[in-house]
């Protein structure tokens, strides 16, 4: 029965779980906030980090981080960071992070990554994470990234062809959803999952009506170039998920399958940075070969 045992099958149809409950149990592990914003009512906020954020740079370099709040369509106020990593950066990465971290813990990584690949980084905390209001849920994930996208487009004036959508682990879920509706410079899916049920029950072959995070059904609608990255020894989201997502992408580039890497250490391997640098360079070359007036951002119905 599509990989489910008889007892599991009966349990699902006699008392089917709600997708939001599946999501809450499988995906959302918000940590204690590791940061706060000073002067939260200002249009620009400074970030104050706790020791758990493990900031790795100087206080002066922290001035490159701008904090702000954005309002979602579901009424939550989400915390956002704009990390200015390079004065001459052409591209900005809209980064959706993993499930057990917040912006404070990610801030050092963002500054280091952006500096190494010459990109600025815009990121946000999901509802219920960090100092964002509300509770984490699948619907809030989609509303959260929509709010981040519109903030990046309107407040900072970043055009779609200069935006790279980057999702890591649970962050690939809102990334795929947004990418299925908007065309951008490129998409990076780092340790993606195909759907919630397929993580919980690895032999599941179809998407059930109550499944959460059905990225496998949305990725065929992504028209931007997609780079899939996955550790071959991933102990949380099996490597097979990355392969399945890659095979469904209409415009995939050569994937990065990292030998020996698990779920949380892919970025420690040299080929990770090498591939991202190459990806950014290729996008830059492609865009410069096309007249800017020919690139039209369209919202697909």
- Per the domain annotation, does 242 fall within a domain? yes
Q: Considering only CA atoms, give the Rg of the chain.
A: 19
Best CA proximity match to 120, nearest among 146, 174, 156: 156
CA distances from 123 to 17, 203, 216, 238, 252 (A): 31, 34, 24, 26, 24
What pLDDT digit, counting tens, does each position of 12-29 carry? 444 455 554 555 555 799
**pLDDT > 60? residue 294:** no
Q: Could you tell me if residue 99 is inside a domain?
A: no
Look at residue 216 and tell me if it is in a domain.
yes
Laid out side by side, the sheet with 186-190 consists of: 65-71, 77-83, 119-124, 91-96, 163-168, 186-190, 226-231, 256-258
- State the pTM of this model: 0.88
Ranges 9-18, 28-37, 93-102, 271-280: which has the least confidence: 9-18
pLDDT in tens, 178-222: 999 999 999 999 999 999 888 888 888 888 888 889 999 999 999
Assess if residue 240 is contained within a domain: yes
CA atoms within 13 A on the CB side of 160: 16
Q: Which helix (H) or strand (E) holds 28?
A: none
227 inside domain: yes
CA-nearest of 59, 123, 134, 78 to 97 is 123
**CATH number assigned to the domain comprising residue 207:** 3.40.50.1820
Rama region for 157: left / alpha / beta (φ>0; ψ in -120 to 50; rest): left
Instruction: Say if 291 falls within a structural domain.
Output: no
283: nearest Cα among 124, 113, 154, 93: 93
Residue 134 region by backbone torsions, left for phi larger than 0, else alpha for psi between -120 and 50, else beta = left
Residue 265: pLDDT above 80? yes
How confident is the model at residue 289, as a pLDDT? Answer: 61
pLDDT tens-digit readout, 38-83: 877 777 899 999 999 999 999 999 999 999 999 999 999 999 999 9
Mean pLDDT of 137-148: 97
Residue 295 in this model has a pLDDT that exceeds 50: no
Please tell me which residue, 116 or 292, carries the higher pLDDT value.
116
For 72-131, the pLDDT digits (tens) are 999 999 999 999 998 899 999 999 999 999 999 999 999 999 999 999 999 999 999 999
pLDDT at 279: 82
Q: Give a yes or no: residue 32 inside a domain.
A: no
In a domain, 19, yes or no: no
pLDDT of 278 over the 50 cut: yes
Domain that holds residue 207: 159-260
> Please, is 86 exposed, middle or buried when counting C-beta atoms within 10 Å of its C-beta (0-12, 13-18, 19+)?
middle
Say if CB 236 and CB 194 are below 8 A apart.
Answer: no
State the pLDDT at residue 298: 46
- The rounded mean pLDDT for the chain is 88
> How many C-beta atoms lie closer than 10 Å to residue 123's C-beta?
22
Give catalytic residue positions. Answer: 169, 234, 263
Number of domains in the chain: 1
Segments of 115-255 assigned E as strands: 119-124, 163-168, 186-190, 226-231
């Amino acid at each position: 029965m599509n990989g489910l045992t008889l007892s599991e099958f009966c349990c699902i149809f006699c008392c089917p779980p709600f997708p939001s409950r599946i999501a809450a149990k499988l995906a959302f592990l918000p940590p204690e906030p590791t940061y706060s914003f000073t002067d939260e009512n200002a249009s620009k906020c400074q970030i104050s980090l706790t020791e758990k954020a493990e900031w790795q740079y100087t206080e002066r370099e922290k001035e490159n981080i701008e904090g702000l709040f954005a309002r979602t369509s579901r009424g939550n106020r989400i915390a956002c960071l704009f990390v200015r990593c390079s004065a001459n950066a052409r591209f900005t990465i809209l980064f959706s992070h993993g499930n057990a971290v917040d912006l404070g813990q990610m801030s050092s990584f963002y500054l280091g990554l952006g500096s190494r690949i010459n990109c600025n980084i815009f990121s946000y905390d999901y509802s219920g994470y960090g100092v964002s209001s509300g509770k984490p849920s699948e619907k809030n994930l989609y509303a959260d990234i929509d709010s981040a996208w519109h903030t990046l487009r309107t407040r900072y004036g970043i055009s779609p062809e200069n935006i790279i959508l980057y999702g890591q682990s649970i962050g690939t879920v809102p990334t795929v959803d947004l990418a299925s509706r908007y065309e951008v410079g490129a998409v990076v899916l780092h340790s993606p999952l195909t759907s919630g049920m397929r993580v919980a029950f690895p032999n599941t072959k179809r998407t059930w009506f109550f499944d959460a995070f059905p990225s496998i059904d949305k990725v065929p609608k992504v028209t931007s170039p997609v780079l899939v990255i996955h550790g071959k020894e991933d102990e949380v989201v099996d490597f097979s998920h990355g392969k399945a997502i890659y095979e469904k992408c209409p415009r995939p580039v050569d994937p990065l399958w990292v030998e020996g890497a698990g779920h949380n250490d892919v970025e420690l391997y040299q080929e990770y940075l090498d591939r991202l640098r190459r990806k950014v360079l290729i996008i830059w070359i492609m865009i410069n070969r096309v007249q800017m007036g020919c690139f039209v951002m369209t919202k697909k119905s």
